[in-house]
Chains A and B, each alone.
Chain A
Amino acid sequence: MSTLLWIVVLPLLASIFVTAARQWQRSYLALAVAAFPALALLLLLPSAAAIFSGEVLRYQVQWLPLIGLNFSLHLDGLSFLFSLLILCIGLLVILYARYYLSAQDSMARFYAFLMLFMFAMLGVVLSGNLLQMWFFWELTSISSFLLISFWSQQGDARKGARMALTVTAAGGLALLAGIVLLGQITGSYELSVVLTQTEQLQQHAAYPVVLALVLLGAFTKSAQFPFHFWLPNAMAAPTPVSAYLHSATMVKAGIFLLARLYPLLSGTELWFLAVTLAGLTTLLVGAYFALFQHDLKGLLAYSTISHLGLITLLLGLDTDLAAVAAIFHVINHAIFKASLFMAAGIIDHETGSRDMRKINGLWKYMPVTATLAMVASASMAGVPLLNGFLSKEMFFTQTLHQGVLGSLSWLIPLLATVAAIFAVAYSARFIHDVFFNGEPIGLSKTPHEPPRYMRVPMEILVALCVLVGVFPQWFIGDLLSQAAVAVLGSAAPEYSLALWHGLNIPLLMSVLALAGGIVLYINRKHLFVFQAGFAEQPAIYRFENVLQRFVQRCRSLTAAIDNGRYQRFAGLMLVLVLWLCGAPLLELASLQGNRPALPLDMLVLAGAAILCIAAIATVLTIRQRLLSLVMISVVGLMVSLAFVRFSAPDLALTQLSVEVVTVVLLMLALYFLPHKSVKQSSPGHLVRDLALATGVGVVIGSLAFAMLTQQTDTISDYFLQNAKTGGGGTNVVNVILVDFRGFDTLGEITVLGIAALGIFKMLTGIPRFMSGADGEGRRWALDSHPLLLAVVSQALLPLALLVSVYIFFRGHNMPGGGFVAGLITAVAMILQYVAQGVDWVKPRLKVEYSTLISLGILCATITGLASWLFERPFLTSWFDYFDLPLVGTVELASAMAFDLGVYLTVVGSTLLILANLGKVTTRYRPVHKEQS
């Protein structure tokens, strides 16, 4: 079912498309954007038949099957319902936003973020893998951040966005921890597998932890108490965003998660208690505070919190039908709340204010909008004949049948009624305060009806409120029952979606709520006075305060460890090395292993002695830098000899050539750096450093000894056996580099190239600072190119190049290869610079070294890609033998082309570094383009 993939990806394509179509005329842009989700909707709808007959559609692409990571999509009743909501309301919001955004706002940017969000949200509901779902979950947080801060010039938009991101992303991290634990316990991240492991999970000792972490994720996302405070502050977003993200879809993601994992996590005491209490508190807090908001959107935000609490509460009840009621209310709430937000947006748009103390009596100015808004808020209040009434009835019924609080369970229906009274009161306020209650006060413009098409989305949604309210079974019966099956994991119990269930207690509760709400609204003045007594700092400042203090705390903690001094930090890290490497050694009984030792010979002993003396001399002479440099080059040479002695000819060749370039480099560095160290470390420092150095040396030496004397199983036998037959070369080291581990080598030459380019960048535009004399005040010799060296080096060049060609070609079968050949060529070229000077070389050598690097990496990459032409994996090598007249049998291997890439990169990088460093003092010094 790759249509599933398209449903998810289409909004992403829309997002990319919009950024390209920035210049389009606004209506065309909106139309073009809408085409993508419309297409996705067309792809989704045909699957309705399959979904309604109880099928689950899946789509999977293998990614890392060995560790159970696959890209998988999963469409069942629940995800179908949510996808439908996301796509349909999304389409309406696109249309609405076309008229809502003003000419100064970048419509393309808005749509790009909106579509990114839609992509993420579809990803959440359609994911068949928990980790993948988490990825999309975080993407919804990020796109929500971008959308809330859409008007980034406004301070409260930035603050609100930051708050929303902090809260939801922190919850997301908790969720990730929960999911990983879940995966560990159940052994899989695939939804289809995980959901069958209910018993295993619930009996596991870590179940409470998993539950807490998952709930933390869900509650932060769905703005449950005490994390609800971010939602009202997110109202700084443009209203289409509030309608879409913060009422209909994103805040429902937490609910979705609870519903998705319902079969897995629910059914325990802990679940009932935690979810019920969180839901109940949120329901009450939201409903209470909604009444006191003067901001139209603030009222709707708190009301949304309250309704989310209601849904959560339902998911926490232990009755059979509670989950069905929850899903039903998800649908209804999305419909009426989205339309109410759109109404708020229209009012804001046409009056220039959202303050309910100013906007009064709008009935006269916009009767159609007023009617629509009144129907929608009646639905919010739970007035019969509208969809909100039905789910609220169901909710009341469930509260009467549950027993989650034991003998205190009677509290829940009571408190539910109290919340419902407040819901009626704030709905009444929305209607009465805005559309009646006198005349508008101090508005900047005269209100009027919005553009015709701005109202269309609202009309559709309000029509749905009525249609679902009157013909529930006919409209959403199948949708609901299949979603319920998905949530419960089994067939839903019998229930009837009907308007009239006879005279019963739930109906009584509804009547009580309606009457109580009206009474409460009429007497609201007293309550307002009471509430005004709490002079509270807005949540946003408190939150910012906490955040700032937290950052400050972290900063001082960091400063306590890292005072900005390199020496101290390096020392601390070495102490850590000492500890981590030394502690295991203490547990080892003996360092001596069972590997037969090589007999000692005097030559090696002598070499080792020279090496150690040279190393110590390097340290001792560090204040006379040139001498120190000579000493360290002795160390390097002895290391190369060690490689020769212990059967590593390739390494010896490489080390030797690298030694040459390193010394040239350090000589050049000496020219630029001070020639003497002025400051000597204090004795205390010196003792400390000496102790640390000795300690690390002893530990590493012991470790080396333990390793050297240990008989180990090596995987190298594989390489030895297959080098000739599979890689076509007898020099196993080279075959490993260009064939077995070719991908590593490709990465390494890339790093080399990047380092060289970075160096070039650092040398570009370097200020002139060199003195004309050395440390002792002797002036630099001007005659820098001795004749003898110039002549010899010229003669040497072709010879050296020949050697490097030879080394290159024999590399596959004998010691040598691209790395060594490249270094030899580089050394030969550097010699020209040294002997003749830049002024002489520059006109004669018209090669851009950076081009050489790119060519090298390109050559190696193309060699790797070429194997795709033969339908083999990346970097599969090929070789064959040919008989040529005169020359004899010649081997041709694709590895050679790869090695050529290595060669070019090494030559290019080495020369780019050294030649440019050498050029700094000449007229060819690297400068910024704009300066030259």
Chain B
Amino acid sequence: MELVMAIVIGVLTSCGVLLVLRAHTFAVVLGLTMLSYAVNLFIFASGGLTAGKGAVLGVTDIYADPLPQALVLTAIVIGFAMTAFLVILAIRARAELGNDHVDGHSGSRQQQESRF
């Protein structure tokens, strides 16, 4: 089971990284979302995998590690806020600059130089 989890984390990271390196903002946003899944799973996994034994007292005798769960819970919510921030930044950049390239311009040398 641990191996499966590790592979999942690896695949999510790879896909996330690949997307983050694209030139368009939407792909970068998706990439970061994907990376945050990977990171959340990674932190969650740091407590070890436990099946069917939630950290609610009195239900079972052994419990899953509650600490990574608490960390990940807030991370999920904050992750949403950061994704939203990035998305809006991308929208605003599109509105102001007229394109959705991560550098704010389509990237040819002349254009870049004429801007500065």
Which chain B positions have C-beta within 8 A of A823? 77
Shortest beta-carbon distance from A646 to chain B in Å: 5
Which chain B positions have C-beta within 8 A of A601? 1
Chain A 698-735 interface residues, beta-carbon cutoff 8 Å to B: 698, 700-705, 707-709, 712, 714-716, 719-720, 723-724, 730-733
One of A167-175, A379-387, A744-752 contacting the partner: A744-752
- Contact string against B for A residues 648-685, beta-carbon threshold 8 Å, 1 for contact and 0 otherwise: 11110011001001100110011011100101010000
**Most chain A beta-carbon contacts within 10 A, residue among B9, B76, B107:** B76
**Known A618-B15, A697-B13; contact A598-B51, beta-carbon cutoff 8 A:** yes
Q: State the CA gap A595–B106 with chains docked (Å).
A: 51
In the complex, the answer to whether B66 meets A693 with C-beta atoms within 8 Å is no
Q: State the CA gap A859–B21 with chains docked (Å).
A: 41
In the complex, the answer to whether B4 meets A570 with C-beta atoms within 8 Å is no
Which chain B positions have C-beta within 8 A of A704? 5-6, 9-10, 41-42, 45
Which chain A positions have C-beta within 8 A of B107? 565
Chain A 522-571 interface residues, beta-carbon cutoff 8 Å to B: 564-567, 570-571
Question: Which of the residues A649, A661, A766 comes within 8 Å of B91, measured between beta carbons?
Answer: A766
At the interface, yes or no: A406 with Cβ under 8 Å from chain B? Answer: no
- Contact string against B for A residues 591-618, beta-carbon threshold 8 Å, 1 for contact and 0 otherwise: 0000101111100110010011001101
Interface size class of B (residues with CB under 8 A): 35 or more
In the complex, the answer to whether B81 meets A755 with C-beta atoms within 8 Å is yes
In the complex, the answer to whether A612 meets B52 with C-beta atoms within 8 Å is no
Question: Which of the residues B2, B18, B100 comes within 8 Å of A705, measured between beta carbons?
Answer: B2
At the interface, yes or no: A824 with Cβ under 8 Å from chain B? Answer: no
Q: State the CA gap A271–B88 with chains docked (Å).
A: 61
Question: Which of the residues A654, A693, A759 comes within 8 Å of B21, measured between beta carbons?
Answer: A693
- Contact string against A for B residues 2-31, beta-carbon threshold 8 Å, 1 for contact and 0 otherwise: 111111111111110111111111110110
Q: State the CA gap A632–B37 with chains docked (Å).
A: 10
Instruction: Determine the main DSSP class of B at the interface with A.
Output: helix
Q: State the CA gap A555–B45 with chains docked (Å).
A: 43
Which chain B positions have C-beta within 8 A of A913? 81, 84, 88
Chain B 61-111 interface residues, beta-carbon cutoff 8 Å to A: 63-67, 69-70, 72-74, 76-85, 87-92, 94-96, 98-103, 106-107
At the interface, yes or no: A398 with Cβ under 8 Å from chain B? Answer: no
In the complex, the answer to whether B76 meets A716 with C-beta atoms within 8 Å is no
In the complex, the answer to whether B70 meets A692 with C-beta atoms within 8 Å is no
Question: Which of the residues B57, B67, B70, B84 comes within 8 Å of A755, measured between beta carbons?
Answer: B84
Question: Which of the residues B11, B51, B73, B82 comes within 8 Å of A819, measured between beta carbons?
Answer: B73
Shortest beta-carbon distance from A558 to chain B in Å: 14
In the complex, the answer to whether B33 meets A716 with C-beta atoms within 8 Å is no
In the complex, the answer to whether B22 meets A723 with C-beta atoms within 8 Å is no
In the complex, the answer to whether A769 meets B94 with C-beta atoms within 8 Å is yes
One of A130-138, A306-314, A634-642 contacting the partner: A634-642
Residue of A nearest to B15 (CB): A615
Question: Which of the residues B51, B74, B103 comes within 8 Å of A647, measured between beta carbons?
Answer: B51
Residue of B nearest to A706 (CB): B6
In the complex, the answer to whether A651 meets B56 with C-beta atoms within 8 Å is no
In the complex, the answer to whether A632 meets B81 with C-beta atoms within 8 Å is no
Interface size class of A (residues with CB under 8 A): 35 or more
Residue of A nearest to B2 (CB): A708
Residue of A nearest to B17 (CB): A693
In the complex, the answer to whether A814 meets B4 with C-beta atoms within 8 Å is no
Which chain B positions have C-beta within 8 A of A646? 44, 49-51, 64
Residue of B nearest to A612 (CB): B11
In the complex, the answer to whether A622 meets B27 with C-beta atoms within 8 Å is yes
In the complex, the answer to whether B17 meets A697 with C-beta atoms within 8 Å is yes
Which chain A positions have C-beta within 8 A of B84? 665, 755-756, 759, 913-914
In the complex, the answer to whether A566 meets B48 with C-beta atoms within 8 Å is no
- Contact string against A for B residues 34-61, beta-carbon threshold 8 Å, 1 for contact and 0 otherwise: 1001101110111111111111111000
Q: State the CA gap A604–B49 with chains docked (Å).
A: 12
Which chain B positions have C-beta within 8 A of A700? 9-10, 13, 38, 42
In the complex, the answer to whether B78 meets A748 with C-beta atoms within 8 Å is yes
In the complex, the answer to whether B44 meets A648 with C-beta atoms within 8 Å is yes
- Contact string against B for A residues 896-932, beta-carbon threshold 8 Å, 1 for contact and 0 otherwise: 0000000000100110011001000000000000000
At the interface, yes or no: A583 with Cβ under 8 Å from chain B? Answer: no
In the complex, the answer to whether B57 meets A696 with C-beta atoms within 8 Å is no
**Known A693-B17, A704-B6; contact A665-B83, beta-carbon cutoff 8 A:** yes
In the complex, the answer to whether A658 meets B80 with C-beta atoms within 8 Å is yes
At the interface, yes or no: A643 with Cβ under 8 Å from chain B? Answer: yes
Q: State the CA gap A824–B45 with chains docked (Å).
A: 26
In the complex, the answer to whether A744 meets B10 with C-beta atoms within 8 Å is no
**Known A598-B2, A669-B90; contact A716-B65, beta-carbon cutoff 8 A:** yes
Question: Which of the residues B22, B23, B42, B73 comes within 8 Å of A733, measured between beta carbons?
Answer: B73
Chain A 759-775 interface residues, beta-carbon cutoff 8 Å to B: 759, 762-763, 766-769
Residue of B nearest to A767 (CB): B95
Which chain B positions have C-beta within 8 A of A643? 44
At the interface, yes or no: A741 with Cβ under 8 Å from chain B? Answer: yes
In the complex, the answer to whether B15 meets A619 with C-beta atoms within 8 Å is yes
Which chain A positions have C-beta within 8 A of B87? 665-666, 669
Residue of B nearest to A600 (CB): B1
In the complex, the answer to whether B57 meets A724 with C-beta atoms within 8 Å is yes
Question: Which of the residues A662, A708, A723 comes within 8 Å of B83, measured between beta carbons?
Answer: A662
Shortest beta-carbon distance from B81 to chain A in Å: 4
6 example contacts (A-B, Cβ-Cβ < 8 A) are as follows: A567-B23, A622-B30, A681-B22, A693-B14, A767-B95, A815-B54
Q: Which 10 pairs from chain A and chain B are nearest by CB?
A: A701-B10, A697-B14, A705-B6, A647-B64, A730-B57, A598-B1, A732-B66, A755-B81, A736-B70, A693-B18
Q: A615-B11, A759-B85 are in contact. List 6 more A-B contacts (CB 8 A).
A: A662-B80, A669-B87, A673-B100, A694-B14, A705-B6, A909-B81
